[in-house]
Structure 1
Amino acid sequence: MNYEFTIIVPIYNEQDNLERLEQELSRYVSRTRTKAKVLLINDGSSDRSQELIENICTRNEAFHFLEFAENRGLSAAIKAGFDHVDTELLGYMDSDLQTSPEDFDLLLEHIGEYDLVTGVRADRKDSFVKNMSSAIANKIRRTFTHDGMDDTGCPLKVIKTEYARRIPMFKGLHRFLPAMILLQNGKIIQIPVRHFPRTAGQAKFGLWNRLLGPLIDCFAYLWMKKKYINYTIAKKG
């Protein structure tokens, strides 16, 4: 099958969510008009996630996996997805199912005109502390990047693969994906998507890596912006 769209799903100790993840993603890829497949990336899980992932991929032709030798973090898992995708478009979502793969169709409607389309979580179903720390972190990040995005922590995104592959990833850069597309003179837009409470497993981000960590990463982004190489070929012969 000539796939057009790969959905990257980083996974770390999410054994309790994987059955429902399989159900929702398999239902989505079977009905969406865009020919889609799924790449599950096991970021060194210590629970039964890998066993379940292999079973899922055995049952579903459109599902594939990568397994890290050890836990390397979310940015590394996303980069591995960027490196191994072979379709013109790629998407990204978390395995906790606080966003729905069905909403990828909302983002795909705009990807022709734009190079990155990101969701913005409407009516978030998180705790007050989590919502407040995310709001503060987003405000700090916008001050540094001027990307105009209200919710870069939303995991639901669609990116043209050629742009994703040119992003020089470092740990924490998953929060700066829209800004890194702007450095390539790409076009970005945010679209409201649904948000759901987590029903299984545990959140992997606390106050430190939701608020203080991103503040430190902003300075790394400024360094990269100053050093970033971007060029356009006018003619070749």
Structure 2
Amino acid sequence: MPEALTVIVPLYNEEENLKRVEKELSEYIKIAHVPTQVLFVNDGSRDNSQKIIEDICNSNPDFKFISFVKNCGLSAAIKAGFDHVETSLTGYIDSDLQTDPMDFNLLLDNLEGYDLVTGYRNNRKDSFVKNMSSTIANGIRRTFTNDGMDDTGCPLKVIKTDYAKRIPMFRGLHRFLPAMILLQHGKIKQVPIKHFPRMAGTAHFGVWNRLLGPLMDCFAYVWMKKKYINYTVGKKG
């Protein structure tokens, strides 16, 4: 399969951001290092997001969507995206565009020899509380996973699709994508990327989501690591 990229954009009540998402991802597609398309995953939005998504997709063949009947959470949205991607590479970016789609080329340039490349927000433009809770949560996850990643929750990633489709996703485990690739004996890398303040819309995560929730998820990851099935076929006939 020739290399091509599908960028998953999970969203929930992001009507204020979607036209900017269309504009910036359309600009990226023009200069992308591999052929690229976009897949919106509408996680049961209750605002006008679905109509805007349909308008975007009807006018631009590079944009597709799937829409949930009801809100299921970010992990479910990412999992649905993985399930529906048909290209060899899968990208992920949040609809708030606090990361720059142009940095997908930076991730792609670092992909050789790796199965996941994730961004690292080394100059985050978030509030003090948000930054501190994320720093603590990342430190806790590193202790449990030993994945060596400084910013596992960074919403800018490129993953080889065959690895992405084998990730056993559970609620909250979208924060553990690098560790999930390591469970498959894959190779991971992080590279510094740009980060911006949220321009519009409302963040859907508080201190519980960013700190206490991830701590609970670490125990789920440890259980999964002990139970995870991994095999390599030597011969078949």
Give TM-score, length-normalised by structure 1: 0.98
| TM superposition shift of 1:33 | 2.6
Distance 1:62 1:3 in 2: 16
- Other-structure match for 1:29: 29
- The reply on whether 1:69 has 2:69 as its aligned counterpart is yes
Secondary structure of residue in 2 paired with 1:231: coil
1:212 maps to which residue? 212
Q: C-alpha distance in 2, partners of 1:137/1:31?
A: 35
Name the residue aligned to 1:17: 17
- C-alpha deviation, 1:60, in angstroms: 0.8
Counterparts of 1:30 and 1:43, CA distance in 2: 27
Q: C-alpha displacement at 1:199, in angstroms?
A: 0.9
Tell me how far 1:134 sits from its aligned partner.
0.2
Q: Are 1:200 and 2:200 matched, yes or no?
A: yes
CA distance in 1, matches of 2:220, 2:34: 36
Is the contact between residue 107 and residue 158 of structure 1 (CA under 8 Å) also seen in structure 2? yes
Question: 1:142 is paired with a residue of what secondary structure?
Answer: helix
Q: 1:3 to 1:163 in 2, by over 3 A?
A: closer
Alpha-carbon distance in 1 for matches of 2:12, 2:119: 22
Kept in 2, the 8 Å contact 1:3–1:36? The answer is no
Specify the alignment match of 2:232 in structure 1: 232
**AA at the equivalent of 2:148:** G
Q: Name the residue aligned to 2:190.
A: 190
1:142 counterpart letter in structure 2: R
CA-to-partner distance for each residue in 1:152-188, whole Å, 9 max, x for gaps? 1110000000001111100001000000100100000
CA distance in 2, matches of 1:207, 1:48: 27
Amino acid at match of 1:115: D
- Give the Cα–Cα distance (whole angstroms) in 2 for the partners of residues 204 and 34 of structure 1: 32
8 Å CA contact retained: 1:26, 1:60: no
What secondary structure does 2:95 align onto? coil
What is the Cα deviation at residue 30 of structure 1?
A: 1.8
1:188-212 deviation per Cα after TM superposition (whole angstroms, max 9, x unaligned): 0000000000010000110001000
C-alpha distance in 1 between matches for 2:79 and 2:116: 16
Does the Cα contact within 8 Å between 2:53 and 2:65 map onto a contact in 1?
yes
Partners of 2:37 and 2:63 within 8 A in 1 = yes
Secondary structure at 2:54 match in 1: helix
Please say if residues 14 and 95 of structure 1, whose CA atoms lie closer than 8 Å, have aligned partners that are also in contact.
yes
The answer to whether the 8 A contact 2:3-2:89 is kept is: no
Q: What is the distance in 1 between the residues matched to 2:30 and 2:44?
A: 29
List per-residue Cα deviations over 1:6-52 (Å, max 9, x = no partner): 00000100000011111000111122131000000100000000000
Identity %: 69
How big is each residue's C-alpha offset from its partner over 1:128-161, in whole Å with a ceiling of 9 and x where there is no partner?
A: 0000000000000100000000001110000000
Cα contact 2:39–2:81 (8 A) shared by 1: yes
State the AA in 2 paired with 1:187: K
How many residues were matched structurally? 236
Q: 2-side partners of 1:53 and 1:152: how far apart?
A: 28
CA distance in 2, matches of 1:123, 1:179: 23
**Counterpart in 2 of 1:149?**
149
The aligned amino acid for 1:76 is A
Q: Distance in 2 between matches of 1:92 and 1:72?
A: 18
Cα shift at 1:110: 1.7
One-letter code aligned to 1:65: F
Counterpart Cα distance in 2 of 1:190 and 1:99? 14
- Tell me what 1:59 maps to: 59
8 Å contact kept, 1:3–1:37: no
Residues 33, 108 of structure 2: 8 Å contact kept: no
| Uncovered stretches (5+) of structure 2, i.e. residues with no partner | none
Could you say what secondary structure the match of 1:236 adopts?
coil
2:60 and 2:109 map into 1 onto residues whose CA distance is 26
Structure 2 residue 138 is the aligned partner of structure 1 residue 134: no
